[in-house]
Amino acid sequence: MLTYKGKVIMSNRHIKSDVILIGAGIMSATLGTMLKELAPDWKITVFEKLEKAGEESSQELNNAGTGHAALCELNYTSEKTDGSIDISKAIKVNEQFQDSLQFWSYLVNRNLISNPQNFIMPLPHMSMVQGEKNVEFLKRRFETMSNNPLFQGMEFSDNTETLKEWIPLIMNDRKSKEPIAATKIDSGTDVNFGALTRMLVDHLKNNEVDVNYKHSVESIKRMKDGTWEIKVHDLEGCKMEYHKAKFVFLGAGGGSLELLQKSGIPEGKHIGGFPISGLFMVCNNQEIVEQHNGKVYGKAAVGAPPMSVPHLDTRYIDNKKSLLFGPFAGFSPKFLKTGSYMDLFASIKPHNITTLLAAGVKEMALTKYLIQQLLLSKEQRMEELRDFIPTAKSEDWDIIVAGQRVQVIKDTAAGKGTLQFGTEVVSAADGSIAALLGASPGASTAVSVMLEVINKCFPQQMKEWEPKIKEMIPSYGVKLVENPELINEIHTTTAQALELNKK
């Protein structure tokens, strides 16, 4: 033990836990809450570098707040060479979101969290396209999806009067003669993931989980007995601590890649990260905010990453209605909004440099797109907004910086240095450590992704835990798309528990 002026600055004594969660965002909060239900006697410890939970990617203005159920996001449905529409990815994302709705309902029904309207609100999800070719695509997409039990209630219209009822702000004073169409489904949601994260972490704190803010993880080292030693810097107490755990989860958003590399596990080799930042435009005129009700997603520009699909969103933040448009993509070498400008360079290692270089060659279109986005003036951004709101005035809109996302780059069957879009779990062969990497649909699928972590990392406990998992998520182990009656039951029970039927 080292001391300075009577204060401990480093302790060699290991503080033992069963589980250590690094990062206090929606992923760690979800995993911690699930494990507390499955193994209530386990000691769980959380480390967060910032001063409170959910301040990075989970923070309400750092993400779109869309309950991603593939109801409106056109990038989850693709056109095949024969003209038919592939909705397999949309089905997967929707089923994952149903897991989240069921788990949140379980927590509300058992009074583990309360006041669901503080984090989730019912909101129509819409897709809107312009141009004859895009209208034809949207109609075929609607015909395919509306025949699937997961997407019951979806409507399509290319009728001007109907669209004026659905999206009056978008249709007002529209001079363009281009064909325009939209789909609408009223079962969509707006989710405040920041508020939900804080609720879950407060629940954990009230149930003997040790949550440590202003604690930065400096190193991760595997011990001879297979456990993990975590060296932690207590930023407020100005001291170092050593913690030890059987299982470690790296849920630090863009910071997870650095921690994964520090762990030294072979599964973390040949993986890199490409950071993408974002901007949203926020309406400061409440009269305009009140004229729109829904999340309206358009089509991404050629070369744009899926996370940059333009959308005009009603949001509920602190129970106040707001209106956002974006995101506009940008670039920063930081892996976290509060990170370092050296993050990207520090992530380059001998084992992943060829992977990163290969991605650089393959993603020239993305690089060009990001440069173009960086050079946009506010007035140029306003012109993009006017594709959605023809009457938009610059003085009614402000620009805010959204969160950082780190897209995974790795070697796949598709080739070396493939840029991945989505959320990915990387775990050690023995299941003693797991990392969550990637971006959208991210938070919306947190429950499904954490089930994947639990299955990978705790196979010995799964037989014992399965009844409880089915209690928390009744559709666990079932393909919803093949069970229409169960879909209807889940839609009814989750809407009731989460108060989604209230206007």
Q: Domain end: 377, 403, 419, which one?
A: 419
User: Are residue 306 and residue 409 in the same domain, yes or no?
Assistant: yes
Question: What's the total number of domains in the chain?
Answer: 2
H, E, C per residue of 301-333:
CCCCCHHHCCEEEEEEECCEEEEEEEEEEECCC
Residue 208 pLDDT > 90: yes
* Total count of residues recorded for the chain: 503
Q: Are 314 and 125 in contact (CB under 8 A)?
A: no
* Angstrom distance (rounded) from CA 235 to CA 215: 6
Q: Which residue has the tokens 């779109």?
A: 64
| pLDDT at position 303 | 58
Same domain, 293 and 383: yes
- Residues 440-474 have pLDDT tens digits of 678 999 999 999 999 999 999 999 999 999 999 99
Pairing of strands 320-330, 311-317: antiparallel
Q: Provide mean pLDDT across the span 431-445.
A: 87
Mean pLDDT of the 336-352 span: 85
Residue 375 has pLDDT above 90, yes or no: no
Residue 1 has pLDDT above 70, yes or no: no
| 46 φ/ψ angles, rounded to the nearest 5 degrees | -120, 135
Q: Is pLDDT of 374 > 90?
A: no
Tens-place pLDDT, residues 78-92: 999 998 999 999 999
The pTM assigned to this predicted structure is 0.92
* Contacts within 8 Å (CB) and 24+ apart, 351-357: 351/269, 351/270, 352/269, 352/270, 352/271, 352/272, 352/409, 354/416, 354/417, 355/270, 355/271, 355/272, 355/409, 355/410, 355/411, 355/416, 355/417, 356/272, 356/409, 356/417, 357/417
Q: Do both 316 and 390 map to the same domain?
A: yes
pLDDT for the residue 424: 85
- Same domain assignment for residues 494 and 395: no
Residue 467: cis peptide before it, omega within 30 degrees of 0? no
Tell me how far apart the alpha carbons of residues 32 and 47 are, in angstroms, rounded to a whole number: 12
β-pairing verdict for 7-22 and 44-48: parallel
pLDDT of residue 337: 85
Does the residue 107 lie in any domain? Answer: yes
3-state SS, residue 155: strand
- Over residues 5-30, the mean pLDDT reads 80
Instruction: Tell me, yes or no, whether 301 and 378 share the same domain.
Output: yes
Contact 430, 227 (CB under 8 A): no
Task: Give the Cα separation of 70 and 90 in Å (integer).
Answer: 5
Q: What is the predicted pLDDT for the residue at 9?
A: 53
Q: Where are the beta strands (DSSP E) in 192-268?
A: 210-213, 215-222, 228-234, 239-250
Q: Can you read off the two tokens belonging to residue 277?
A: 């930042």
Of the ranges 197-211, 257-271, 397-411, 431-445, which is most confident?
Answer: 197-211
Domain boundary among 403, 419, 435: 419
Q: What percentage of the chain has pLDDT greater than the value 70?
A: 95
Residue 305: its pLDDT value, please? 62
**Cis-peptide into 306, omega within 30 deg:** no
289 and 391 together in one domain:
yes
Q: What is the pLDDT of residue 12?
A: 54
Give yes or no for a contact between 192 and 316, defined as CB atoms under 8 angstroms apart: yes
* Domain identity same for 86 and 165: yes
Instruction: Please indicate, yes or no, if residue 212 is contained in any of the structural domains.
Output: no
330 pLDDT above the threshold of 50? yes
What mean pLDDT comes out for the span 95-102? 97
- Evaluate whether 13 touches 242 at the Cβ level (below 8 Å): yes
**pLDDT above 70 (res 219):** yes
Answer yes or no: is pLDDT of 186 > 60: yes
* 65 in any annotated domain: no
- State the Cα–Cα distance between residues 3 and 419, nearest whole angstrom: 47
In a domain, 38, yes or no: no
Looking at the fold, whether 374 and 481 belong to one and the same domain comes out as no
Mean confidence (pLDDT) of the chain:
90
Q: Are residues 279 and 411 in the same domain?
A: yes
pLDDT of residue 319: 83
Q: Are residues 274 and 403 in the same domain?
A: yes
Kindly report, residue by residue over 32-51, the tens digit of the pLDDT. 999 999 999 999 999 999 99
In this structure, the answer to whether residues 496 and 364 fall within a common structural domain is no
| Whole-number Cα distances in Å, 188 to 85, 97, 165 | 21, 11, 18
pLDDT for 286 equals: 96
- Whether residue 440 lies inside any domain: the answer is no
Residue 291 falls inside a structural domain: yes
In the prediction, which pLDDT does 5 show? 45
pLDDT of res. 13: 65
Are the C-beta atoms of residues 25 and 201 closer than 8 Å to each other? Answer: no
DSSP code of residue 66: B
Range scoring the smallest mean pLDDT among 10-24, 119-133, 288-302, 407-421: 407-421
Q: Is residue 32, in this structure, part of any structural domain at all?
A: no
**For residues 382 and 394, is the Cβ–Cβ distance under 8 A?**
yes
Residue 197 lies in a domain: no
pLDDT of residue 42: 97
Domain that holds residue 100: 72-182+473-503
What is the arithmetic mean of pLDDT over 221-239? 92
Q: Give yes or no: residues 399 and 275 share one domain.
A: yes
Stretch 346-352: mean pLDDT: 85
Residue 4, pLDDT score: 43
